[in-house]
Amino acid sequence: MTTIFAATEAPSPSTTTAPERFEVLLESQRDDCLRRRESALAEPIASNLDPVAMSRTATLLHVIAEIDDALARIAAGTYGLCVHCGGAIPEERLEFRPFAPSCVTCR
């Protein structure tokens, strides 16, 4: 009899990346970016051409786009692989920046 998931045992931490864990992380970061973008846009000073507010919202949009890409890679089963060289992105890097599309070498 083969046990696929033993509920009482923690999965091996070092061998594989768990995309599900990062998916949760990415979703919450995406929500956070959307909220920060909304509050940035809601600031009266940010109304028109304040360059700081403009670049802040642009950065948030960029991050949201990267998060969307990362979620698409999770759906495609390629999450955690560098989009340039196809090598595995170290998990420490994904912990720090879960939407990182490339490894440190290709960054």
Residues that bind Zn ion (CB under 5 A): 82, 84-85, 87, 103, 106
Classified as helix, coil or strand, 88 is strand
- Separation CA 29–CA 51 (nearest Å): 24
Given the complex with Zn ion, which of 54 and 106 has the nearer CB atom?
106
Tell me the two tokens of residue 23: 């998916």
Nearer of residues 67 and 82 to Zn ion, judged by Cβ: 82
User: CB of 90: closest distance to Zn ion in angstroms?
Assistant: 11
CA pair distance 54, 47, nearest whole angstrom: 9
State in angstroms the smallest separation of the CB of 80 from Zn ion: 12
